[in-house]
A = this chain, B = another copy of it.
Amino acid sequence: MEKVTLKVSGMSCGHCVKAVEGSVGELNGVSTVTVNLNEGTVDVEFNASEVSLDAIKETIDDQGYDVA
């Protein structure tokens, strides 16, 4: 299991939290995803043999947010 903290801009409200946590949380191989609105970060625990970090970043991007 790997753990990463991504810097993500554009998340501003509870709906954004749900959009990111919901979409990333649905990916196979992702075990936990936690958005911190104040910090503008997304913590993700995932199994790198099942899902790539790029796929996780792309999923967040697809929701309309910029991953640093």
Question: Does A55 belong to the interface (CB within 8 Å)?
Answer: no
Interface size class on chain A is under 10
Copies in the complex: 2
Determine which of B14, B19, B64 lies in contact with A64 in the assembled complex, contact meaning CB atoms within 8 Å: B14
Binary contact track A43-67/B, C-beta < 8 Å → 1, others 0: 0000000000000000000001000
Give complex CA distance A64, B10 in Å. Answer: 19
Interface residues of A (CB under 8 A from B): 10, 12-16, 19, 64
Closest 10 CB pairs of A and B: A15-B15, A12-B12, A12-B13, A13-B13, A13-B16, A15-B16, A13-B15, A15-B19, A14-B64, A10-B13
